[in-house]
Structure 1
Amino acid sequence: MSGLQEWLYAVFVEQFDAWIVLGFFAQGCFTMRFLVQWIASERARRSVVPVAFWFFSLFGGALLFVYAIQRQDPVFIAGQGMGLFIYIRNIWLIASERKAALAETD
């Protein structure tokens, strides 16, 4: 085997376990937010950030945060951990806005 083949085998085969499955699932959820945002923007013909973007961000980011902790990667932990505050705050702001709008209609 060449050096590249050995590296690919070590990275993608030898260390494959349930945590890797969780990591790829989490990354898939996190990636869905971009797909949701892109589709919403294309339909509106302008840049749109739908609520689903923030929920996919929160869910995928939280799972990636757990994965990063298990892998003990400080850069990944810090990046995903800080993002969680932003996602939660945006969901909070959206909920507050909707609650205020409902109060106005009563």
Structure 2
Amino acid sequence: MNQEILWLSWTGLHLTPWKLVGLTGALMFGLRWLVQLIASHRAGRPVIPRLFWYMSLIGSLMALSYFLLSAKQDVVGVLQNLLPAFTAAYSLFLDIRNGHKSQPAP
């Protein structure tokens, strides 16, 4: 998984499967704010939908796996993604346990 993806070499970027996993995780982690913004706009108040926590958890775990399992082996990246993964998992657990459902805007 650390070998360059040759059919993407036309981009000029050195992309490996692990790097794509890490980039996808970072993109998902970042786009969760867009989900939160849209949900809050629709509700007319600050709202954190369940999708936000799923995106946080999946994005953190994907980025964490890149820093742990790829040739990168970067402790800074591991620490940077470890706490958000636990936080998102716990928040998602609480959200599911309490039966929270997103309410549509009035």
TM (normalized to structure 1)?
0.74
Q: How many residues align?
A: 87
CA distance in 2, matches of 1:88, 1:45: 26
The 10-residue stretch of structure 1 (23-32 or 41-50) with the greater mean CA deviation from structure 2: 23-32
1:102 aligns with none
Question: Which stretches of structure 1, 4 residues or more, deviate above 3 A after TM superposition?
Answer: none
* 1:55 Cα deviation from its structure 2 partner: 0.3
Q: Per-residue displacement from partner, 1:39-82 (whole Å, max 9, x unpaired)?
A: 00111121111110000000111000001112211111012111
1:21 aligns with 20
Q: Please tell me the residue identity of whatever aligns with 2:64.
A: F
CA distance in 2, matches of 1:92, 1:17: 33
Q: Which has the higher helix share?
A: 1
CA distance in 1, matches of 2:92, 2:20: 27
CA distance in 2, matches of 1:20, 1:85: 22
RMSD: 1.6
Determine helix, strand or coil for the equivalent of 1:46: coil
Percent identity, aligned pairs only?
A: 30
Q: Please tell me the residue identity of whatever aligns with 2:82.
A: G
2:97 aligns with 96
Q: Greater CA radius of gyration, 1 or 2?
A: 1
* 1:92 Cα deviation from its structure 2 partner: 1.1
Asked which structure has the greater RCO (Cα within 8 Å, sep 6+), the reply is 2
CA distance in 1, matches of 2:24, 2:84: 18
CA distance in 2, matches of 1:87, 1:25: 17
TM (normalized to structure 2)?
0.74
The 10-residue stretch of structure 1 (67-76 or 57-66) with the greater mean CA deviation from structure 2: 67-76
Determine helix, strand or coil for the equivalent of 1:16: coil
